[in-house]
Chain A
Amino acid sequence: MLQNTVSTRRNIGGTEFPILAAALPVVANGPVGDTYWHIRLKAATTHLLSRPGQFFQLRCPRSEAGDPFLRRPMSVYAVDTNVGEIAFLYKVTGIGTTGLSTLVPGDTLDVLGPLGVGFDINPEWDHVLVVARGVGLATMGPLAKALHHNGVALTAICSYRTPEATIGLEPFELHGSVHTVYDTDGTSDVASVDSLIREEHARRSFSFAYTCGSKRIVRLLQDLSSQLGFGGEVALEQRMACGLGMCHSCVIDLRRGDTVESVRVCSRGPVFSLGDIVAPEETLSWYRSCDESAI
């Protein structure tokens, strides 16, 4: 069971969950579907506590693709406190994730986390929306579980390139109702998703919306949240070095009243209020030539 408490905003350095810096044994690591990989690590139960949306900095090993110098930020995909395991979902795209894919049981992976601020959950909410796409779904799995534990009804719209790329649906199917939409049949178009959200909202109104990873969806949800009157949050990513807030690499612009403020994604995020995001096209770029990770 994942955390079932109400998340509260905190700055990094809060004592809520200790930050672990350790090498964890690999339990399993392999491909799921045709696009993604899943790695499970052994950890003491006390080290498994994190909030949905928080992330770890993984020190990926070297491989024939190269030696990744910096850690790779990756959000927690799943935690199993019964057996003491933490899991990450990733797509092999660069030297970091290529190195990660070479790990086998018996190896260890150096992890640092949990880091950052997770999603807000309010048990008084009736019904919330999750819109996620591709590897961004990894971030949302723990959120679906935590919403369920807090008695909040969930409708998820999971967007994929193709029906074959479908992954990470289980937490949403278990804890809410799911719509899958695809590029191949046009159902993932902004206009189609827009109507789908309006239909669902008319059926049972949304109190809140969560998303990550797609600038089109961020912009759509920004519009819909102001038109339909619900709040929302987005999990962002930015190229990082330390992940702890020391290096000031991973900044984005946030709206603060009439001014724009530059904040660190690692320590003030990676989860931010939808309405505060200034320019989705600038802030939601993938790790360009490095790796596509799941935050």
Chain B
Amino acid sequence: MSVVLETVCGGVRLRSPIMPASGTFSHEMENVLDLGQLSALVLKTTTYTSRRGNPVPRVTETSFGMLNSIGIPGGGIQHFVANELPKYRRSGAPIVASISADTAAQFGEMAAILSDEGLAAIELNISCPNIEADGQAFAMSREATARVVATARRATTLPLWAKLTPNTGEIVNIAKAAESAGADALVVANTILALAIDADSRRAELGNIMGGLSGPGVKPIILRMVYQCARKVSIPIIGCGGISSGRDVVEYLLAGATTVQVGTESFRDPTALVRIERELVEFCDGRGISSLRELIGGLMVQDAPAGAPDVDVAP
């Protein structure tokens, strides 16, 4: 008897805990695999109005990962509903739309527009700049996070997944704010703000100077955040950061994630989502693990000595 992969995450029934991360998946993946094999289709973030995106180069590689600064190019929400969404319906997999906007009110409008489009959930990409707060990302602030989630919550009955940024020093507080405001699940996390420089040309490697770091190098950082958040919220956590193998998925489950998203690895191996699921099954079956519940939150920790600092603030 093979391990049962089916799970429910943030109001969505999923065939497996492994799904693509927003921005790293689109229908072109059907060139190398059947989209119906995927547990969910988490689409690229769509914005309220159309955006051109950032200047090139938009990507660069670094040790153990890459930086990107794509800039969420796209035609805006109306174009998305009319022209993008239909491309994903025939696969039969649950569709999760990712949305981003300049203001909380726009998030609400977009959530309302998407309410009757047959989606499984809406992912709120709140790692983008909030123009009402000098461009600081919504998810850098408890208040802005709560405002976006609450506004979207009032606008739709669809499950809401809030995608947090790792660039805050208080991700646990942000996670609690999103939960209180009505999020059904949390995606922990997004890319880490970073800079790559070419020593010869003395220029930044990216046209936008700074960009988001992703790939295997960020995994220990995001694992830590999943561990911290999972102990303080009761909604499911979707782990997202540097997963490239079935073992990485197990690590995220042990840290407290219920499901995971795989992003950057799909750029290196476009069939990674299918391979990683196979590796997860092999890992579990080889150890007699019949349910993923045996793994979730199963990190073994010794009792902290009395008086030791809380793990949230150490070292």
Binding site for B on A (CB under 8 A): 12-13, 19, 21, 59, 66-71, 112, 238-242, 244-252, 262, 267, 282, 288-290
Contact = CB atoms under 8 A, between A and B. Distances in A.
A250 B26 CA distance: 15
Contact of A70 (B59, B201, B205): B59
Contact of A248 (B29, B53, B205): B53
Contacts of A70: 59, 61, 66, 267-268
B302 interface: no
Interface in B61-81: 61-66, 68, 70, 73
A16 to B, nearest CB: 12
B28 A71 contact: no
B70 A242 contact: no
B267 A242 contact: yes
Decide if the interface of chain B is mainly helix, strand, loop or mixed: loop
A19 B30 CA distance: 10
Kindly state the interface size class of chain B when it binds its partner: 35 or more
Interface centre among B205, B215, B268 (most CB of A within 10 A): B268
Interface of B: 23-32, 44, 52-53, 56-66, 68, 70, 73, 198, 200-201, 205, 215, 266-271
Contact of A13 (B27, B200, B269): B27
A247 B59 contact: yes
Q: Which 4 A-B pairs have the closest CB atoms?
A: A69-B61, A245-B28, A249-B59, A242-B267
17 contacts: A12-B28, A59-B268, A67-B63, A69-B64, A69-B215, A70-B267, A112-B270, A239-B58, A241-B66, A244-B29, A244-B31, A244-B32, A246-B266, A246-B270, A247-B70, A249-B59, A289-B200
A241 B32 CA distance: 16
A4 B140 CA distance: 58
A136 B282 CA distance: 45
A13 B31 contact: yes
Contacts of B31: 12-13, 19, 244
Given A239-B57, A246-B25, 16 more contacts: A12-B31, A13-B28, A13-B31, A69-B61, A69-B66, A70-B59, A70-B66, A239-B56, A244-B32, A248-B70, A249-B70, A262-B53, A267-B28, A288-B57, A289-B200, A290-B61
A265 to B, nearest CB: 10
Contacts of B70: 247-249
B62 A69 contact: yes
B177 to A, nearest CB: 31
B28 A244 contact: yes
B60 A239 contact: yes
A242 B269 CA distance: 9
Given A112-B270, A238-B56, A262-B73, A247 B200 contact: no
A43 to B, nearest CB: 16
Nearest to B62: A69
Nearest to B203: A288
A67 B268 CA distance: 13
Contact of A240 (B59, B65, B266, B270): B59
A284 to B, nearest CB: 12
Contacts of B268: 59, 69-71
Nearest to A14: B31
B83 to A, nearest CB: 14
A76 to B, nearest CB: 17
A12 B61 CA distance: 25
B198 to A, nearest CB: 5
Nearest to B87: A13
B66 A251 contact: no
